[in-house]
Amino acid sequence: MNLSYNAWKTFCECPKKYYFKYRLKEAPTVPQNDYFALYGCLVERFFTMFSNIWRFNSPYMPENVIREKTARLYEDLLATSTVIWNAPFVKFSRQDILAQAQTDICAIMDSHNQNFFFNTQSEIDIKVSTSVGIDLTGRIDFIHENPLDKRILLFDGKGTDKIGKNIDPNQILFYSLLYYFHFKRIPDEVGFFYYRFNEFYPVHIDMETINTLRAKVSLDIKDIASKTFWEARPCTKACKYCDYRNTCIERLERASKRRKKSKMNIQEEGTVTLFGL
């Protein structure tokens, strides 16, 4: 059995959601729409290809080639994605998303003089076995080694337009923990790279942070290995993007209770106003 960062995060949020998604592998009961993921996936695919393959063939990639390769990657991405273009929240057309990604990729490549990616590897899979039969797994977006001082920078790419918001430092620290188990050292710097802003957002790391996370993950792994009942923990944040929210009894009961409570509050407020008159 594997435990990725996403699976671990899901377990911490709601064990029932984890059980449905990662153990039963139940199909989602809400319609899927990959619209929001398109931009980030596209930019990431470009840098993965450039870091792992293209840089060896073409040390400098001209802008027209960058744009052309990105357009081809986009076609492949669209072919394997589910996008409902007429959903109410869709603001940008399929062409807008490509144009934005091409512009941002060119800007990132330019500002780093493309050399940065010569010493960067992307999409590195790490698997670590544990004594309770659960393997910790993760795919690290980027590992960069400074050629001069050999310092290691480990970072995760983000496609969001909200820099520094809703970040979970544990995501990059989880990957750092895997890196530590595998390479027997912690990275020197870790953080998130925001493609739209061409900006790095650092996250603090030292041995104490890693040991604290290690202890927490270790307790959760034992819990997962011995668990026989997967309780639901309905809460606004976890349920909002849950694939099973339309059929989850606990969420529906909570929503119904909240509706009743809010109705009662409105009635009570009405009574107070009348009394005041």
14 binds ligand SF4 (CB under 6 A): yes
Question: Which amino acid does the sequence have at 50?
Answer: F
Q: Which is nearer to ligand SF4, 189 or 250 (CB)?
A: 250
Site for ligand SF4 in 248-277 (CB under 6 A): 248, 250-251
Q: Which of 3, 5, 11, 16 binds ligand SF4 (CB under 6 A)?
A: 16
Sole binder of ligand SF4 in the list 17, 69, 144, 158 (CB under 6 A): 17
What lies within 8 Å, CB to CB, of 134 at 6+ separation is 1, 2, 3, 221, 224, 225
Q: Are 155 and 142 in contact (CB under 8 A)?
A: yes
Decide: is 7 part of the binding site for ligand SF4 (CB under 6 A): no
Closest CB 30 distance from ligand SF4, rounded Å: 10
What Cα–Cα distance (Å) separates residue 41 from each residue in 44, 85, 268?
A: 5, 17, 50
Tell the burial category of 176 from Cβ atoms under 10 Å away from its Cβ (0-12, 13-18, 19+): buried
Paired tokens of 81:
């994605």
Q: Binding to ligand SF4 (CB under 6 A): which residues in 33-62?
A: none
Contact segment (CB under 6 A) with ligand SF4 among 126-134, 143-151, 218-226, 232-240 equals: 232-240
Show the tokens assigned to 182. 């595998």
Cα–Cα dist 136/127, whole Å: 6
For residue 194, the tally of other CB atoms under 10 A from its CB is 21
Least Cβ distance, residue 23 to ligand SF4 (angstroms): 13
Question: With binding defined as CB under 6 A, does residue 234 bind ligand SF4?
Answer: yes
Residue 21 touches ligand SF4, criterion: CB under 6 A: no
Site string for ligand SF4, 177-216 (x = CB under 6 A): ----------------------------------------
The amino acid sitting at 117 is F
Q: Which residues are near ligand SF4 by CB under 6 A?
A: 14, 16-17, 232-234, 238-239, 242, 244-245, 248, 250-251
